[in-house]
């Protein structure tokens, strides 16, 4: 269980570094760097860290993993990442308020607390769903097949 924690936290550290650096350097939360660069960076980082975590687990075990083991490892990394990212963004909202949320849909018409709940649910569930997709794709390519079990 150490590998999912390690790689999930490393992924979250990458996300935290990106958010802090971009918000310190670019004050407009609606800039293209935040709106387009962030999602691209987060997804590439997430995919790469799941891949590296699965490969590290393979090295630790000394053999190729079966699909189910690789998938479980990847999803575990995604869950750790989702929890850590959500806690980070909760801390950001508590510390500086909602000004980094930028142009969230419905920002002028909905109460702030509803926007915050939706944003956190989106971060948490989106990270887990994309982690499941990425883990499935990676596991399909790197895992040992059941027919190889001899």
Which pLDDT band, with edges at 50, 70 and 90, does 147 fall under?
low
In this predicted structure, the answer to whether residue 16 has a pLDDT above a threshold of 80 is yes
Measuring CA to CA, which residue among 91, 150, 73, 90 is closest to residue 124? 90
In this predicted structure, the answer to whether residue 69 has a pLDDT above a threshold of 80 is yes
Q: For residues 129 and 136, give the distance between their C-alpha atoms in angstroms, rounded to a whole number.
A: 11
Which pLDDT band, with edges at 50, 70 and 90, does 117 fall under?
confident
Question: Which residues touch 55 (CB under 8 Å, ≥6 apart)?
Answer: 142
Q: Please, what is the Cα angle at 66 between 62 and 69, to 5 degrees?
A: 90
pTM of structure? 0.84
Number of CB atoms found within 10 A of residue 17's CB: 11
Beta strands in the chain (DSSP E): none
Q: Report the pLDDT averaged over residues 15-35.
A: 79
Here the tokens at position 9 are 């936290």
């Amino acid at each position: 269980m150490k590998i999912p924690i390690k790689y999930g936290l490393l992924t979250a550290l990458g996300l935290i570094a990106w958010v802090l650096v971009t918000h310190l350097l670019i004050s407009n939360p609606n800039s293209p760097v935040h709106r387009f660069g962030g999602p691209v960076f987060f997804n590439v980082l997430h995919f790469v860290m799941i891949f590296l975590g699965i490969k590290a687990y393979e090295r630790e075990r000394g053999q190729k993993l079966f699909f189910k083991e690789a998938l479980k490892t990847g999803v575990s990394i995604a869950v750790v990442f989702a929890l850590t990212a959500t806690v980070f963004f909760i801390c950001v909202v508590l510390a500086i308020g909602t000004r980094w949320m930028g142009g969230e849909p419905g920002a002028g018409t909905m109460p702030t607390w509803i926007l915050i709940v939706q944003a956190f649910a989106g971060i948490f569930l989106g990270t887990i769903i994309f982690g499941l997709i990425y883990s499935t794709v990676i596991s399909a390519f790197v895992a040992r097949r059941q027919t190889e079990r001899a």
